[in-house]
Amino acid sequence: MSAVDRREQILVAATAVFGAKTYVGTTTDEVARAAGVSQPYVVRLFGTKEKLYIEVIQRAYAHVLEAFRTALPGPVENRGERLGAAYTGLLVERGMLPLIAGSTSMGGEAEIGRVARDGFSSLWRFARDEAGFTADEARTFFAIGMLINTVVGLRLTGDYGSEVTATEVLDECFPDAVEKVRALLPRADEPW
């Protein structure tokens, strides 16, 4: 397989694993195994685990931006709904949302933090400059997005139906897409 294809394949696998187990909780060996390749090879292709993670979150933020740009055209009235649906639509790529959620608590790491801030900033700039949100509208839009990230990060989906809070929160966050979301998210107890 060509190196570029292999890189993409590893990035996809790494998104799933990093998304499920966070940066520190993930070993390069798990990523390698998920990609069907040897551990030294992922290290050689990406240099270090940190560089791999950086590429993974850069790619993730780029995908979010792309999904937003695709969903933007249309009436202004339901602009927010369209972009929101685009965001949850990213759940089809395994690990994408948990990964982004996890990246928002990495501000303390020098390199990774900078990349995560850049990624978030690119989304905010899109909302303000391209989508035409006011600062207040952007705040509300991103606030809901971050609540969704929290729901995903906490794996509240596993308690849906059996625990009152989780059920309420999920119903509030995904008024008509709860089942879709639940199907796509990793459960708390999901083994990797």
Partner DNA sequence: CGAGGTTGTTATCGAATGATTACTAGGTCT
Partner DNA sequence: AGACCTAGTAATCATTCGATAACAACCTCG
Q: Check residue 120 for interaction with a second copy (CB under 8 A).
A: yes
Pattern 17-36, a second copy, x by CB under 8 A: ---xxxxxx-----------
CA angle at 56 for the pair 53 and 60, rounded to the nearest 5°: 140
Minimum distance from residue 187 beta carbon to DNA (Å)? 21
Neighbours of 9 (CB within 10 A): 15
Q: Which stretch binds a second copy (CB under 8 A): 35-43, 61-69, 83-91, 150-158?
A: 150-158
Task: Please give the structure tokens belonging to residue 120.
Answer: 């978030």
* Identity of the residue, 130 or 190, whose beta carbon is nearer to a second copy in the bound complex: 190
Distance CA 167, CA 27 (A): 33
The one among 44, 73, 75, 136 contacting a second copy by CB under 8 A: 136
> Judged by CB under 7 A, does residue 3 bind DNA?
yes
DSSP 122: H
Pick the stretch among 1-9, 53-61, 80-88, 130-138 that binds a second copy (CB under 8 A).
Answer: 130-138
- Distance between CA atoms of residues 162 and 15, nearest Å: 29
- Written as one letter, the residue type at 182 is R
Q: Which of a second copy, DNA, none does 104 bind, CB closer than 5 to 8 A by kind?
A: a second copy
How many CB atoms sit inside 10 A of residue 174's CB?
20
| 73 conformational bin, left if phi > 0, alpha if psi -120 to 50, beta if neither | beta
Residue 89 neighbours by CB distance under 10 Å: 16
Number of other CB atoms surrounding residue 78 within 10 Å? 11
The reply on whether position 82 binds DNA by CB under 7 A is: no
Q: Which residues make up the interface to a second copy (CB under 8 A)? A: 20-25, 98, 101-102, 104-110, 113-114, 116-117, 120-121, 124-125, 128, 135-136, 138-140, 142-144, 146-147, 149-150, 152-156, 159, 163-166, 168-169, 171-173, 186, 188-190
Q: Which residues in this chain contact DNA in the complex, by CB under 7 A? A: 1-3, 6, 26-29, 37-41, 43-44, 48-50
